Structure 1
C-alpha cells in the first residue's frame, strides 16, 4: 500500500477482545491505534441492564443472529447462534457469567505446543483485568477494570438446589474461580453497580479521550491487504463507501470465532481448494483456518414447581413493574440479575482428572423457540447440563466471496460418540438433585425430559432432539506449532508477517466453562506480547511516525 499509514495498529472487531486490546495498546502514547467495528455504538439501553439479555438475544441491530447448518448429530436441526455486532461484541449481549475454566485446560494448551499458556502463565492476566468484590488474593485481582461480583439476592429455590446437591455428596464451593472448580455454589458475574460490564463499557469508554485512539463503527472490513506476505492494512466498507486504511506495524483480527476465519479466507488465507471454489486468489494455504470449531452443548430439564419457587409470574406483564421501578431508582432487584444463580461442576466418571459437566439452575422456565426466549405463567424452573470438554469438532467455511454474506458453520454436536455418555449422566445427576430434599419439596412434576424418558436410549433420543448450543464457539484459528494450526503461541499467523489474531478463535481447546473471561485473558496476554515485542525493537516496516490526531468516534 502506497498510502502513508495514519495508524500503527489496526484492530478489526471491537468485541470482547478488541476493546481490551485497544485500551492496552493505546496506553502507550507512542502507538496510534484504530479500532474498527461492523456494528453500531453500544447505546441500546437494554445492553446496560443485566436482565436485558433476553431482549438482545435476537435483536439483529446488535446481533449477527447466525444459524448453523443442519446438525447431523441433532436430527438435522439448525441451531441459532447469537453473536454480538456492537461495541463490546458478545460481551454486550451475553449472560454475564464470569468463569475462567479449569487450570487443567490451560496446561493442556501449553502441552499442545504453546509455551507460556499454562495455568501459572495465564493466571496473572486473569487477575490483571479483575476488580473482585471480595478483594485481592492469590486467585483474584482487585485493581482491574472488570467488576466481578456475586449473587446479591439469592432466591430460596437456588439455595435449596445447593443444599440438595450437598446432601448428595457434592462439595460446597464458594468460588469456582478459586483453588478448585468442582462442587456446587453461587456463580460470579461481570456486573458492576447493577449494570452490565461489557468490555466496551469498562475498558474502552474510559479511554476514548486518548488522542492516539480512534474508533469507527458501522464499518465492515472486507479484506486484509498485503505487500507480498506482510499485512499492510485493510479495506473496509461503511456508509460513505469503500476505502483502504494502512497500518504501520500490525493488523490484528479480533472478529471472533466466526468472523475472523471468514475474513482470513476472504483475504486469501485458508484451505487453497476451498478458496479457489469462490475465485479467491490464494495467498497462504492454511487448511486449519475455520477448522477445529468447538462449542459447549447443553440440554435443559424443565420441572414444574409451586408458585413461590418460580419467578415465572413475577416477570410477566404488569407484575414486573415494581422490579422495573426498583432497578431505575436503586439499581437492585431482578433486573440486575443474570439468568442462573447457582452452578455445579461435576465429573461424569470418577476416572476423570477434573469435571467435565457444568450444571446450572434458573428459578424460572427458560424456553427457546426459533431463536427466541419465551416465557410462561405456569410455575417452573430450568436446570441445564453442559458438556464442557466436547470431543466433536466442526468448521466455519465460506458461503460466497461476498463479505456481507454469513459464513457456513456447523459444530457437529454429538457426532463423536464420546460426548453422549457424559451428558446422559449429567441428566441423571440433575434429576437426582431435584428429587432430593429440600428441593424435592418444591417439585410438582417432571415436564422435560418427562417421566417416560428413563433408559439410556430414551435419554439419547431426548438429547438429539432438544440439546442446544451454549453459545461458546472457539478454536477456528487454533494456536500451535503443528500442521493444522493457524497462529503461533505469540498469536501471529503462520507464514505471514504483521498479521495477528486475538480472540476466542485461537483457543486450541475449549475451556471448561463460560468463554468470555478467557477471551479477555487472551487479549491481556496478547497486548503485553505486542508491546514488549515493539519495545524490544522487533522488525517493523512502515512510514515515519506522524503526529497523533484527536480521538474520533465515527458512526
Structure 2
C-alpha cells in the first residue's frame, strides 16, 4: 500500500503550484498525478505553437460542448490541457490578474479572505517582471515578459485606435492602472513558453519528497466513512490505489474536477444514481454554476503589412522557423494576443468588456485548427467580462474515460444578451476610428448592423474564450457552493478542490493568473491546517 501525505489530482496550473509549495519544507511526501504526458514538445515550448496544440489530442482533451440553445444549437469546442502543465502548456500565455472588483465579489459570495487586498499580496509574491530592456522587478517564479520590442509594428496601430476611441493606453494592467488598453505581458522566458510546470514543478522535481505520475487517469477519489483516503487510478492497463495520510486535493480543472467528484460519489444524488454510482455525499452544486467568457471576433483585410505577410506563405514560415530555432526571436517567439484590455460599455459602469487585438487574420482548417491567411489582415475581438448565465458540467456515464457533458447555457439571461450587443458595439467603436479605417480594405460592415443583427451574429459566431470556471465554487454552505472559503469540500473530510472550478465568480479577464494565485493561497491554507493539527496533538 503506497501512502503519501498529500495526493494532488492534476498537474495543471494549480497542481504544479501546489506540488512546489507542499514539498518545499521537505516535511511532506506528495504524489502528483496527471492524465497526460510530457510537455517537452516544440509545439508547447514555442510561444506561437499553441495553434498546433489547439486540436492535438496528444496534449489536449479536445472536449465538445453540448448543443447550446443560446448559440443557435452550435456545439462549442472546449480545449483543455491534458499534459504536464495542464492548460498553462497550451494557452495563449496572456497574464492579467483581473479587476479588483472581481475579488471583492468573491468575498461577498462567501469566500471570506479572498478580497482584493488579500489576493494582491499573493500576486506580488508570485511574479517577476522582465522589462523589454531585460531588467527584472520582483523575485517570484512566474516570469512575465514585456514583449513590446518583439511585437509586430502593426500592434502600435491598435494603441493609436484606442486613444482615438477615448480609452486610456496603459503600460501594464497588473499595476496601479486596471482599466484601458495595453501591450499584454506574457508568460514567456528567453523566447520560450514559461508554464506553471516551468515556474513551479521543475524546481520541485529536484526534491526527494515529490513523485509525479504522468499518463495516469484518476478514476475516483476513495471515500471511507465520509473521509477522502486516497485515489484509484488506471495506469498502463493496470488499476492502482494510492492513499493519503492528510488530504486529497482535486486540481483537474473546471471541467474535470466536477467530473471526478461525481465519479467518486460526490454530487447531485439523482445524477449519481442515474449512472449507478454509490452516493457518498449528496452535494447538489457539484458541476453547477458553470461560467465562461464568450467572445466575438471580426477579421479585416489590411493595406498595411501584418503577421500574415510573414506567416501566411511557406517561404515566410520557413524563415520565421529558422529564426526562432537559431535565435529564439522573431514572430514565433511572441504570442499572437498582443494588445488587450478592459473598457467600459457605459461610462457609468465598471470596466465590463475585454478587448483583444491581433495583428493577424486566419481561417479555420477542416480539422478545426487555425490557418494563417496569405494576405495582410487583423482581428478585433470583444468579450463581456462578467456573464450572468450559468451552465453545468455533469457526467454522461459512469465510465471514467467517457467525456463529461458540458452544458454552457450561453446567453440565457437578458443581461447577457444586452452585453453581447455592447461587446459588438465596442468593436464597432474601435473599427471606426481613423487609425483603423486608414488601413482597412475589407471586412464586416459592423457600422451598418442593428442591435438585432449584432445579437443574431453573436449567437451564430461567438465562441468560448476558454475561461471555464466556478463548477466547484467556494461559498457559505452546501446550498450555494461545493467548498468553503478554505477550499474544503462540504461534508467530506480530507478533500479540497483547488483550481478554476473553485472560483465563486469568473474573473473579468484571462484566468491563468488567478488560478496560480488561488493555488498559492490554497497551499498556504493546507500548511496552516497541518500546523494546527500538530499544535492540537495530531499527526503532521
Whether TM exceeds 0.5 here: the answer is yes
User: Residues 368 and 472 (structure 1 numbering): CA distance in 2 closer, same or farther, change over 3 Å?
Assistant: farther
Q: 2:533 & 2:69 partners in 1: Cα distance? A: 50
Runs of 4+, deviation exceeding 3 Å: 312-315, 366-371, 450-453, 538-542
Aligned partner of 2:343 among 333, 342, 346: 346
Contact 1:11–1:36 (Cα < 8 Å) also in 2:
yes
2:143 maps to 1:158: no
Q: 1:419 & 1:485 partners in 2: Cα distance? A: 22
Contact 1:312–1:375 (Cα < 8 Å) also in 2:
no
Contact 1:127–1:141 (Cα < 8 Å) also in 2:
no
Contact 1:103–1:119 (Cα < 8 Å) also in 2:
yes
Aligned to 1:188: 185
* Deviation readout 1:349-377 (Å, 9 max, x if unpaired): 2221x211001111111434563212221
2:481 maps to 1:485: yes
Aligned to 1:549: none
Q: 2:394 & 2:309 partners in 1: Cα distance? A: 40
- Correspondences of 1:120-131 after superposition (within 5 Å): 120-131=117-128
Deviation at 1:150, TM superposition (A): 1.4
2:146 maps to 1:146: no
Secondary structure at the aligned position of 2:483 is classed as coil
Q: Which blocks of at least 5 consecutive residues in structure 1 are unaligned?
A: 546-555
- Correspondences of 1:62-211 after superposition (within 5 Å): 62-134=59-131, 142-151=138-147, 152-211=149-208
2:48 maps to 1:51: yes
Contact 2:63–2:403 (Cα < 8 Å) also in 1:
yes
- Correspondences of 1:447-458 after superposition (within 5 Å): 448=444, 450=445, 453-458=448-453
Q: 1:475 & 1:430 partners in 2: Cα distance? A: 28
Q: 1:357 & 1:451 partners in 2: Cα distance? A: 17
Contact 1:249–1:540 (Cα < 8 Å) also in 2:
no
Deviation at 1:141, TM superposition (A): 6.4
Deviation at 1:85, TM superposition (A): 0.2
Aligned partner of 2:403 among 401, 406, 410: 406
2:520 maps to 1:515: no
Q: 1:92 & 1:541 partners in 2: Cα distance? A: 41
Contact 2:287–2:471 (Cα < 8 Å) also in 1:
yes
Aligned to 2:459: 464
Aligned to 1:442: 439
Aligned to 1:427: 424
2:320 maps to 1:323: yes
- Correspondences of 1:1-12 after superposition (within 5 Å): 3=1, 6-12=3-9
2:381 maps to 1:384: yes
Aligned to 1:367: 363
Deviation at 1:319, TM superposition (A): 1.4
Aligned to 1:527: 523
Contact 1:301–1:382 (Cα < 8 Å) also in 2:
yes
Q: 106-115 or 514-523, which moves further after superposition?
A: 106-115
Q: 1:503 & 1:404 partners in 2: Cα distance? A: 21
Aligned to 2:31: 34
User: Residues 463 and 22 (structure 1 numbering): CA distance in 2 closer, same or farther, change over 3 Å?
Assistant: same
2:240 maps to 1:235: no
User: Residues 331 and 286 (structure 1 numbering): CA distance in 2 closer, same or farther, change over 3 Å?
Assistant: same
Q: 1:453 & 1:484 partners in 2: Cα distance? A: 44
Deviation at 1:284, TM superposition (A): 0.7
Q: 527-536 or 460-469, which moves further after superposition?
A: 527-536
User: Residues 387 and 276 (structure 1 numbering): CA distance in 2 closer, same or farther, change over 3 Å?
Assistant: same
Aligned to 2:294: 297
Secondary structure at the aligned position of 2:311 is classed as coil
Q: 2:17 & 2:486 partners in 1: Cα distance? A: 17
2:490 maps to 1:494: yes
Q: 2:275 & 2:485 partners in 1: Cα distance? A: 31
Q: 216-225 or 480-489, which moves further after superposition?
A: 480-489
* Deviation readout 1:448-491 (Å, 9 max, x if unpaired): 3x368511111111101100000010000010113130000000
Q: 2:93 & 2:165 partners in 1: Cα distance? A: 29
TM normalised by structure 2 equals 0.95
